[in-house]
């Protein structure tokens, strides 16, 4: 079974600085999707960024970018120019190729709580 | 209006009670999910449905049941609530074209 590991339960960053959140995953599949979701205190889950495994180019969305290392099975999220509104839980997720079974097709990590200091 | 609507937003109930959490969506997606979120455990899959006639158990389905009444509606029931079912519950839909998930605002359930 695939797993997603976020090794940093909590992180802190100074406003306007850059922070990187780590995510590793375990899979034998060659084609899949990876995601980062943000959950602010309002508890709404918001998609931050998405990466297709077959694309070598790292995805970017404004101040958010990823470092996708397929061979290392690593998918880190970099937040540049951190803002107070970036404070939230961040979840890494893996979309497996094959459907069905008790894992469905999406597997989440346990999350990293990011604090932003003014 | 929200694309994925969960009701109620918060609910307090007693042990042994039957409770239903409702989810409706206007996104036209066939795929719908119920997740449970606990502190330190992340999101865990309870049930999922890829269309009205397709219901699948997730990794923590014991003690829960679901009903897919229509493409737009997917309800989660706790037949006899127990305190360790106290959690934040999310409904989500998925766009098959790009795999993106769209979440409701969650239902915070407390079982006393």
Q: Are A82 and A17 in contact (CB under 8 A)?
A: yes
- Give the CB-side neighbour count of residue A68, counting CA atoms within 13 A: 23
Give the residue, A87 or A29, on which the prediction is more confident.
A87
Q: Are A35 and A47 in contact (CB under 8 A)?
A: yes
- Say what the pLDDT of residue A17 is: 97
Residues 15-34 of B with CB under 8 A from A: 33
- B40:A9 CB<8 A: yes
- Say what the pLDDT of residue A26 is: 93
Q: Are B33 and B14 in contact (CB under 8 A)?
A: no
Alpha-carbon separation of residue B26 from A16, A62, B5, B60, B93 (angstroms)? 38, 28, 9, 27, 10
- A110:B40 CB<8 A: yes
Q: Say which of B43, B56, B98 has its CB closest to residue A108.
A: B43
Q: Show the tokens assigned to B40.
A: 């330190």
Q: Which of A52-56, A108-112, B33-37 has the lowest mean pLDDT?
A: A52-56
- B58:A102 CB<8 A: yes
Local structure of residue A9 (DSSP, 8 states)? S
Surface-to-core class of residue B91, CB atoms within 10 Å of its CB (0-12 exposed, 13-18 middle, 19+ buried):
buried
- B45:A104 CB<8 A: yes
Tell me which residue of A43, A29, A14, A40 sits closest to A94, measured CA to CA. Answer: A29
Q: Show the tokens assigned to B62.
A: 């014991």
Select the residue from A102, A109, A112 to test the B interface by mutation, using most B Cβ atoms within 10 A: A102
Q: Are A52 and A62 in contact (CB under 8 A)?
A: no
Quick: pLDDT tens for A25-73: 998 888 888 999 999 988 888 999 999 898 889 999 999 999 999 999 9
Q: Say which of A45, A102, A109 has its CB closest to residue B90.
A: A45
Confidence of residue A95 (pLDDT cuts 50, 70, 90): confident
Alpha-carbon separation of residue B53 from A7, B26, B48, B50, B68 (angstroms)? 39, 19, 11, 8, 8
- A-chain residues near B49 (CB < 8 A): none
Local structure of residue A111 (DSSP, 8 states)? -
- Say what the pLDDT of residue A9 is: 94
Average pLDDT along chain B:
93
Q: What is the mean pLDDT of residues A68-92?
A: 97
């Amino acid at each position: 079974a695939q797993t997603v590991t976020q090794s940093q339960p909590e992180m802190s960053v100074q406003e306007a600085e850059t922070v990187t959140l780590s995510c590793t995953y375990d899979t034998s599949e060659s084609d899949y999707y990876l995601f980062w979701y943000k959950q602010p205190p309002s508890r709404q889950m918001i998609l931050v960024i998405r990466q297709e495994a077959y694309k070598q180019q790292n995805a970017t969305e404004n101040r958010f970018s990823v470092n996708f290392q397929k061979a290392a099975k690593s998918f880190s999220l970099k937040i540049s120019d951190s803002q107070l509104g970036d404070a939230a839980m961040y979840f890494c997720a893996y979309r497996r190729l094959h459907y069905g079974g008790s894992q469905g097709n999406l597997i989440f990590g346990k999350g990293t709580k990011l604090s932003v200091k003014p | 209006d929200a694309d994925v609507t969960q009701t109620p937003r918060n609910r307090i109930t007693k042990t042994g009670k039957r409770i239903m959490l409702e989810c409706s969506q206007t996104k036209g997606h066939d795929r719908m999910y119920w997740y449970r979120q606990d502190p330190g455990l992340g999101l865990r899959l309870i049930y999922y449905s890829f269309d009205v006639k397709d219901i699948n158990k997730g990794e923590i389905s014991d003690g829960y049941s679901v009903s897919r009444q229509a493409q737009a509606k997917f309800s989660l029931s706790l037949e006899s609530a127990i305190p360790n079912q106290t959690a934040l519950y999310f409904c989500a839909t998925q766009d098959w074209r790009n795999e993106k998930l769209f979440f409701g605002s969650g239902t915070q359930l407390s079982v006393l």
